[in-house]
Amino acid sequence: MRSVLLSLGMLTLVSVGVSACDDTPGIMTVPLGWTIQEGLLVLLEGDPTTGSVIYAANPGNCQLFQQGASPIQIRFSDFLVFNLGAQGSTDDSLPLTAGTYNIFMTTLPTAAGLYAQSTEFETDAECDYTPTGANSGTITVDPFLPDAGTGSNGSFSVVFGTDQFVGGYGLTTCVIGAQTPVLDGGTCLLPTGF
């Protein structure tokens, strides 16, 4: 079975239309609304074309992702998720790399380049969640260090409706096993440290 990363990607595709608006004049830079406590570069073992940058309001999420959880299965949490993709000139997926990934909303652009989709998830005590999809912006990963436990740097400028969030945080590489099963949909876990 593929992994949590595929679930993250599908979850983002489904939720992008939920709250994303067209890019409009009057965009204002505002605080994120929660403090980033952890930055992860989440990669799937053996698949260099699949990955996410995940910023979280609570630390210790890598071990939960490695058990098959997705952000919406971790209660009392806030996540800013960027699903990454590199596309060649012939619409084929390329290995992820260091660079700036441009955010798109629903349809993957046809030109070669680095692309991402971004969604913010907020979960409550029962893992009910509210997704908000970004309509534009960028996420930069440099350097891109794919080995577990290594540290990359991540910075973002992302627009949700007319609110722009700008920030950055170090990224620890979290590798998920290629055979890690996705946890059942009703699973709701406590974040590490509770």
Q: Which residues of the chain are under the pLDDT cut of 50?
A: 1-23
Task: Confirm whether 194 is domain-assigned.
Answer: no
Dump pLDDT digits (tens) for 78-108: 999 999 999 998 778 999 999 999 999 877 7
- What's the pLDDT score for residue 16? 39
Task: Confirm whether 155 is domain-assigned.
Answer: yes
Domains of the chain: total: 1
- What's the pLDDT score for residue 185? 85
Task: Confirm whether 128 is domain-assigned.
Answer: yes
Task: Confirm whether 182 is domain-assigned.
Answer: no
Range of the domain at 68: 4-176
Task: Confirm whether 188 is domain-assigned.
Answer: no
Task: Confirm whether 51 is domain-assigned.
Answer: yes
What is the SS3 assignment for the chain? Answer: CCCHHHHHHHHHHHHHHHHCCCCCCCCEECCCCCCCCEEEEEEECCEEEEEEEEEECCCCHHHHHHCCCCHHHECCCEEEEEEEEEECCCCCEECCCCEEEEECCCCCCCCCEEEEEEEEEEECCCCCEEEEECCEEEEEECCCCCCCCCEEEEEEEEEECCEEEEEEEEEEEEEECCCCCCCCCCCCECCCCC
Task: Confirm whether 119 is domain-assigned.
Answer: yes
